[in-house]
Amino acid sequence: MRIRSVLLACAVLAVGSRGGAADDDETKPFAFFSPLATLDADKLPAVGLTRPATLGFRPNVEQFSYVFVYNPTKDEKTVNVVLSAGTKAGGELARTATPVTVPGERLVRVALAGKGTPAAPVAVVSTPAPADKAAPATDPPGQKLADRTLVLRVEPAEKAENDAAADAKKVVEKTVSLSVNPPQKPIFDPVEIKCPSPGTLFVTVRFNKPTDVPLFSDRPAKVRLDLRPDLKENAVLDPATLSQGTFEADLPVGGEATLFAEGVKYKGKADSKVKVAVSVDGYDRAFIIETNFDGRPTLYSGPFANVKLSSTAQVPGKPVRVTVEADNIITTDPTVLSVERVVKNTWDDLRTYPTPRRNDVYVKVGGENDAVQFTPVVTDWAIDYETKNIAGRRTFRVQRGTEKSGEETRELLIDRTAPIDTQLIDLPAKEKTITGTDLPLKAVGRDAESDVAEVYFYMGDAPGADGKPAPGSKVVRGVRVPKDDKAGIVEGTWRAKDPIRLPETRGEVRVGALFVNGVGMSTPVEDTLYVRDPEKKEAEKEKEKPKRTTGTIKGTVVWGGRLSQPDLPVVLSDAAGKEVKKTTTDSAGAFTFKDVPPGEYTVYSIKKADQNSDGSSPVTVEAVEKPATVEINVSRMNPKVKRPK
């Protein structure tokens, strides 16, 4: 059976001829792509070779194909196969390492050896990384095709001597056009969009299996519902209510997947429509939906432009990912990303993009089973904007030509300073800080650049800027208190959402407030309170104290009634004159006797260096906390001195 070509319905693509008559080419070996690694020539019906060849791809999905050579003659042929980029063979990508022998009326899968392509595959990432990890996306492996065409060239392995014209007649070139199909109708179809109840949105997407798109991957698709709180018009939504639902799903070929959001609320009255998006295989905004989460949502097909920032306010030093989003803007003018620095209405163009999205196809040879890997990359254009030497505000603008409907701006704030003028206010009086009671806390502070975003009230050690408590500490989130001149509430006042419970034991506690601004810089303010027991409990504790059985004597030794006497011995004797305790005066002439039983005593001291000048004094000791005080005046020849025995 003579095979002239291959049938698309059999998932095989015969590439169209280039240069020369089709009838002439049909008598020579030719090469073609097939998504199947194994083919049987006897089972392939014949069709004409003049049909143009197009390979269709899903964006951001690796797809594989194989190169076959078919020999339509009855004679065995030995050939080389060359794969080049461009309709004019603008750069050889790969070729067979050794000649390929193809029996008559048979086909052979060939292995191509690439030129310097990476061996390991690299994942295609369409969603930009956070600002603190932002880096240019890594290109996938292989060669980027500038004009979306490939040329398959089959030439004889042995060339005729001195007959280039004869060799040229034996060459067959086939041109293959590459096409990346957006994930939209008819293949990906949002078959149902509804809001069955207020605050909900259901989107059902179907993956229709294509019948007329060759080399189309049947890998399940990743679909995602994005409520886009970053859009200006979506600022009316309450961000705390945008996390309930099913936002991602795997969508198999021929199947359906339903994504939904529920419990969505507006900050105010729900009277305005917002835009949400469905992405497919990392192709953002494959579908844009207008809805107010009540009633009938609709697909939006009008112009859409946006500047998406990975951060709208941050400290300097971290790059900001700036993403250009542009859809359905009808103009041949390029997309321009600009930045306004300091002077109003003076824009510096950062980038000019030829198309609304980056749209590239990479090809790499030498895969498993001699596969050729195609990686279409369709993403929004993005740059990493450096902020190392920046302070203040920058405004970014995306503009598609001169159409005002295609223009959108977004502001970035670079803040270098932490909150200032922080102070705890209205702390309770000391008699109000009772153990086991609730302590309300209030504070004031301001930040002129990025404003105060959060305040965390705490007892113990200050928390981190994320509000995470330090070990053993208590933290309560703060709420902003509106300014009220009549009530004496100033701008920048915050209060703890809930009071902090004081400890059950008395003593000092540290309380404070941590002010965090819009870029995460923080300033703490603290004070110390003494927590005491209630009055009744204090009295009960006094009663519970054990009764004292001894007392204390504190006194001084002087000479002449005025000069303190250091380092003199002091003897304590009882009523009978018997020595009970003994000590020495300190540098100030003072002395102390502790744990002295109640009774009548005499304290005596002598200064031997001054002709045995001495003195004594009686003292009465009681079993009380207050010490008994006494003074000993030493002098010469004092007849009233009572000396110990």
> For position 116, what pLDDT does the model report?
45
Residue of 585, 587, 578, 595 lying closest to 630 (CA atoms):
585
Whether residue 132 has pLDDT greater than 50: no
Query: Mind listing the pLDDT tens digit for each residue in 13-40?
Result: 444 333 333 445 557 888 888 888 888 7
- Strongest mean pLDDT among 2-6, 84-88, 634-638: 634-638
| Residue-level pLDDT at 134 | 29
Whether residue 8 has pLDDT greater than 50: no
- Residue 324, burial from CB neighbour count under 10 angstroms (0-12, 13-18, 19+): buried
- Encode 182-193: b = buried (16+ Cβ within 10 Å), e = exposed: ebeeebbebeeb
Token pair listed for 489: 């509430």
pLDDT band at 173 (very low <50, low <70, confident <90, very high): confident
pLDDT in tens, 267-286: 877 678 999 999 999 999 99
**pLDDT over threshold 50, residue 602:** yes
Distances (CA, A) of 443 to 377, 466, 494, 526, 609: 52, 18, 5, 10, 67
For the stretch 305-316, pLDDT in tens is 899 999 989 899
Mean residue pLDDT of the chain comes to: 83
Most distant CA pair in the chain: distance in Å?
Answer: 152
Please tell me which of 15-29, 41-55, 214-228, 390-404 the model is most confident about, judged by mean pLDDT. 214-228
Share of the chain above pLDDT 90, in %: 49
Which range, of 132-136, 328-332, 469-473, 551-555, averages the lowest pLDDT?
132-136
CB 218 within 8 A of CB 252: no
Residue 162: pLDDT band with limits 50, 70, 90 = low
Q: Which CATH code for domain 420-535?
A: 2.60.40.1930
Query: Is a pLDDT exceeding 80 seen at residue 573?
Result: yes
CATH of domain 551-634: 2.60.40.10
Q: Is the peptide bond before 186 cis (omega within 30 degrees of 0)?
A: yes
Give the C-alpha separation, 68 to 110, whole Å. Answer: 6
Any idea which of 178-187, 324-333, 454-463, 593-602 has the lowest mean pLDDT? Answer: 324-333
Q: Which residue has the higher pLDDT, 226 or 71?
A: 226
Between 186 and 294, name the one with better pLDDT. Answer: 294
Checking if the pLDDT of 637 tops 80, the result is no
| 479: its two tokens | 């709420």
> Worst-scoring range by mean pLDDT, 93-102, 103-112, 336-345, 516-525?
336-345
Task: Using the structure block, give the residue that is written with the tokens 């959402």.
Answer: 497
Residue 9 confidence (pLDDT) above 70:
no
Q: What is the pTM of this model?
A: 0.67
Checking if the pLDDT of 246 tops 90, the result is yes
**Mind listing the pLDDT tens digit for each residue in 72-100?**
889 999 999 999 887 554 688 899 999 99
Q: What is the tens place of the pLDDT at every residue in 490-511?
A: 999 999 999 999 999 989 999 9
Query: Per-residue pLDDT tens for 347-404?
Result: 888 888 888 899 899 999 988 888 999 999 999 999 999 998 888 889 998 887 655 5
Model confidence at 196: pLDDT above 70: yes
The pLDDT of residue 1: 36
The pLDDT of residue 544: 64
Decide if pLDDT at 131 tops 90: no
Q: What is the DSSP string of 71-133?
A: --SSS-EEEEEEEEETTTT-SEEEEESS-EEE-TT-EEEE-EEESS--SS------SPPPGGG
Reply yes or no on whether the pLDDT at 161 is more than 70.
no
Q: Tell me the pLDDT band of 4, cut-offs 50, 70 and 90.
A: very low
Alpha carbon distance 179, 174 (integer Å): 16
Cα dist. 204→183, 217, 627 in Å? 14, 21, 89
In the chain, ranges of CATH 2.60.40.1930 domains: 420-535
Lowest mean pLDDT among 15-24, 64-73, 169-178: 15-24
Enumerate the CATH 2.60.40.10 domain ranges in the chain, comma separated.
551-634
